[in-house]
Amino acid sequence: MMNQKSPPKNKELQNIEKILKVLPHRYPFLLVDRILEMEKGKSLIAIKNVTYNEPFFLGHFPGLKVMPGVLVVEALAQAGGILLYHSIPDPQDKFVFLSKIDNTKFRRPVVPGDQLRLEVELLKLKNRFCHMKGKAYVEEEVAVEGDMMASLLNLEELNEQE
């Protein structure tokens, strides 16, 4: 038998067009470029390529370009949102809000040319709340890590509040 490379899990999620169908974020706030691997209800690995022309570099330490840590956390949250979308029933009827960030540590700066590998693990999903753990790596080094909570709201309820 030939030694074949196994196909990536959930190949349909790999490109940006598929990500745009899941996340409501758009440029310049979309911070996930590609999904590498996903195990529904468990974990996800995504990529964010950090380029020199990112709009936040214009004003965030112009002499020493550093990606704001809160945006690295946001990238982890967006990766978590994609994982949640594929882990809950009727995701098109839900809106996910980041509701809590805890135990977050910023371990190294993220600079132009870095590629962030966003790893998110779903720890608990109960009713309208979700607990996730995320780590953002540059190569093999942890740049940011922390716990996140998300609230799932029904779109119907949101529309009634308007």
- Taking only Cα atoms into account, the Rg of the chain, rounded to an integer number of angstroms, comes to 16
For position 11, what pLDDT does the model report? 57
Q: Which mean pLDDT values do the consecutive 10-residue runs of the chain (162 residues) have?
A: 46 81 94 96 97 91 90 98 95 94 98 98 95 98 98 88 71
Instruction: Find out whether 96 and 150 touch, Cβ atoms under 8 Å.
Output: yes
Residue 125's H or E segment, with its range, is strand 115-126
For position 2, what pLDDT does the model report? 38
Instruction: Find out whether 112 and 65 touch, Cβ atoms under 8 Å.
Output: yes
Task: Return the C-alpha torsion angle 19, 86, 137, 73, nearest 10.
Answer: 80
For position 10, what pLDDT does the model report? 57
Residues in contact with 53: Cβ distance below 8 Å, sequence separation at least 6, in sequence order:
none
**Residue ranges of the domains in the chain?**
11-161
What is the number of other CB atoms lying within 10 angstroms of the CB of residue 24? Answer: 11
Q: What top-level class would CATH report for the domain 11-161? A: alpha beta
Active site residue 60: yes
What is the number of other CB atoms lying within 10 angstroms of the CB of residue 84? Answer: 22
For position 7, what pLDDT does the model report? 45
